[in-house]
Amino acid sequence: MANEANTNKAKTTRMAKLYIDDKKDPIELPIIDGTIGPAVIDVTKLYNESGLFTLDPGFMSTASCDSSITYIDGDEGILLHRGYKIEDLAAKSDYMEVCYLLFYGELPSKSEKEAFITKIKQHTMIHEQLQFLYRGFPRSAHPMAIMVGHYGNYR
């Protein structure tokens, strides 16, 4: 059931033409069909060709990225990860199954899940000195502050 987004923009054959008053020729912008939801107009080259930006207050009709992992439609209340409804994942899958799904595009079999968990456990060792870093934060510290401190520890 895994969904893959259309990430191959070279196959796009439909074009939108944008006419600007003071420009002689229209700007041709590719139309890209999404796996789910409406098609989009790729405005990547708009600034280079026209010197203009787009304005979309509230991000109401703008796709922020091309993703094969997540689909969001806030108006309809839809959030999908690799084609699976978030409600179904929350009710029927555990954290490691969702991690596997995000990495590999499908939910794991029992043996795939066991191998994945073993692999993750082998790569999650942390340096013993980090205990001193964590002890420096009060129990009520905000997680973002702890993360920033942890990141700074590696610089």
DSSP 105: S
Task: Tell me the per-residue pLDDT of 57-68, one tens digit each, with 9 for 90 and over.
Answer: 887 787 777 788
Task: Tell me the per-residue pLDDT of 91-100, one tens digit each, with 9 for 90 and over.
Answer: 999 999 999 9
Task: Tell me the per-residue pLDDT of 60-92, one tens digit each, with 9 for 90 and over.
Answer: 787 777 788 888 888 889 999 999 999 999 999
**Does the pLDDT at position 11 exceed 80?**
no
Residue with tokens 């993703």: 67
Between CA 87 and CA 116 the distance in angstroms is 23
